[in-house]
Structure 1
Amino acid sequence: MATAQGTKLLAAGVECIAAAVELVKTYQQGETRIRALDGVTVGFARARFTAIAGPSGSGKSTLMHCLAGLDAATSGQVILDDRELTGLSDRELTRVRRDKVGFVFQSFNLLPQLTALENIVLPVTMTGRHLDQDLLDHLVGVLGIGDRLSHRPAELSGGQQQRVALARALLARPVVLFADEPTGNLDSRSGTEVLDFLRRSVRDLGQTVVMVTHDPRAAACADRVLVLADGRVVDDVDTASGADVTRALQVVGRAG
């Protein structure tokens, strides 16, 4: 269940589906102790598209990894779907990631020996869950990959591989979809198409999306831009009004 501080985040405004409370992450690099996250407290609203931006080393990827249960914080709390992840066993965290989290990475992470369709349905079939054929058909149609389902990853373009990865992540109906530089390995046209689909998944499917990016143009496609520097939140820009998009671009540009 959510802690008192987590509940305050919920009460402060919109409903949060994920939150970090006084999150600290340190690690050793030689003789130097690095503070990757320095007391971050932030909530993420349900059915919104949030971009986490900042320069290399700002802590943006570390924050996402902690929120997704991929990395353990040194102190503080992570709350996902009203459940605190801090202190869960590896087995419990694996279950949370399987049941509640979707991942999309710039490296695609597709299995080369499987077809596009087999890659898409693999997480669902491996866990014995019911395959939602209607959702599968919807995702394949919207992403425009219906004629590529029998092809293996090596036979697909980078943009097509990323669309397959998106379909795979969303087919399991995750509570939050985390995307780590999802346009980093794509040309500008494919990147724009991926960002457009992420926005549509929020609008049409009620999906919550948290994306890490260093690209100001990608960040400005989100409803909100959270800017990190030196492990701290230095700006939080609501771009949904339209008037703030220019500010978001300027803020991320300074951070990058």
Structure 2
Amino acid sequence: MRTEQAGSTPVASRPAVAAVDLVKVYGSGDTAVRALDGVTVGFARAEFTAIMGPSGSGKSTLMHCLAALDTATSGRALLGGTDLTRLGDRVLTKVRRERIGFVFQSFNLLPQLTAAQNITLPLDLSGRRPDRELFGHLVGVLGIGDRLKHRPSELSGGQQQRVALARALVCRPEVVFADEPTGNLDSRSGAEVLALLRQSVRDLGQTVVMVTHDPNAAGYADRVVLLADGRIAGDLDQPGPDRVAAALQQLAAAR
């Protein structure tokens, strides 16, 4: 289900995903925590964006609200022309399954399923058949063709994350959200996963939004959005690790 707004911005120029005056408050009264404080930001199609900031800055909360994994207190979370904040739970489940891909630090693979079954799981749940050409392309690019019959316990961490990435991409989602995707990987496996995310943007036109604390990981992105205290605190185009690290140091010094 795609709920488009009449008279809205043409699809080609519309951000793939956006926040408009997004507020998220946890708790109430004296113990209330304002995790997001009126965030407005858009993420372009076919672009790799990293969200960064100090611990507690709201970066994971922003991603969870944009990915319909958490509910905003006020404001809007937009997926293309669909206002996620206006949808009920049943429709949100369908949107997450069909229009959003997820790659998380903990892989989130089902241990009883093979790698191939884990990859096609979102399609199976929505009653859709896999695009065999895309499936074969992803498996080949990710180098897991000889591991498809193996279960997660028989795969290395890097292989599990590759399976998780294939699962995120096989549905042709409008956006892939990656939450610390290299956090449980060694440096070599992490670099390979980041390069594959970069390649999905370049070769497949995929939109990727990644939360990370690592300047080296952010260096793979086209853009870095900086958060501090639940607000946008900076925006870097074509970032490099040194530039990102310097920006983070400035944020820390200003707190």
Give TM-score scaled by structure 1 length. Answer: 0.91
What does residue 68 of structure 1 align with?
A: 67
What does residue 144 of structure 1 align with?
A: 143
C-alpha distance after superposition, 1:164-199 (max 9, x if no partner): 000011001110000000000000000000000000
What does residue 252 of structure 1 align with?
A: 248
- Contact 1:17/1:81, CA 8 A, preserved across alignment: yes
CA distance, structure 1, for counterparts of residue 14 and residue 222 of structure 2: 15
What does residue 27 of structure 1 align with?
A: 26
What does residue 101 of structure 2 align with?
A: 102
In the TM superposition, residue 137 of structure 1 has moved relative to its aligned partner by 0.5
Equivalences for 1:62-141 in 2 at 5 Å? Answer: 62-141=61-140
CA distance, structure 2, for counterparts of residue 137 and residue 249 of structure 1: 38
What does residue 166 of structure 2 align with?
A: 167
CA distance, structure 2, for counterparts of residue 74 and residue 106 of structure 1: 26
Code of the aligned partner of 1:152: R
- Contact 2:216/2:241, CA 8 A, preserved across alignment: no
Could you tell me which runs of 5 or more consecutive residues in structure 2 were left unpaired when the two chains were aligned.
Answer: none
- Contact 2:215/2:242, CA 8 A, preserved across alignment: no
What does residue 42 of structure 1 align with?
A: 41
- Contact 1:216/1:253, CA 8 A, preserved across alignment: no
What does residue 181 of structure 1 align with?
A: 180
Seen in structure 2, the aligned counterparts of structure 1 residues 227 and 14 have a Cα distance that, compared at 3 Å, is farther
In the TM superposition, residue 245 of structure 1 has moved relative to its aligned partner by 5.5
Seen in structure 2, the aligned counterparts of structure 1 residues 255 and 152 have a Cα distance that, compared at 3 Å, is farther
CA distance, structure 2, for counterparts of residue 154 and residue 30 of structure 1: 45
In the TM superposition, residue 85 of structure 1 has moved relative to its aligned partner by 1.0
What does residue 221 of structure 1 align with?
A: 220
CA distance, structure 1, for counterparts of residue 241 and residue 105 of structure 2: 24
- Range moving further from structure 2, 27-36 or 198-207: 27-36
CA distance, structure 2, for counterparts of residue 204 and residue 53 of structure 1: 25
In the TM superposition, residue 88 of structure 1 has moved relative to its aligned partner by 1.0
C-alpha distance after superposition, 1:51-106 (max 9, x if no partner): 00111110000000000111111110111021111121111111111111000100
CA distance, structure 1, for counterparts of residue 87 and residue 206 of structure 2: 25
Q: Percent identity?
A: 66
What does residue 194 of structure 2 align with?
A: 195
Seen in structure 2, the aligned counterparts of structure 1 residues 30 and 190 have a Cα distance that, compared at 3 Å, is farther
- Contact 2:98/2:126, CA 8 A, preserved across alignment: no
Give TM-score scaled by structure 2 length. Answer: 0.92
Q: What secondary structure sits across from 2:85 in the alignment?
A: coil
C-alpha distance after superposition, 1:139-183 (max 9, x if no partner): 011111111111110111100000000001100111000000000
In the TM superposition, residue 125 of structure 1 has moved relative to its aligned partner by 1.7
- Contact 1:179/1:211, CA 8 A, preserved across alignment: yes
In the TM superposition, residue 3 of structure 1 has moved relative to its aligned partner by 9.2
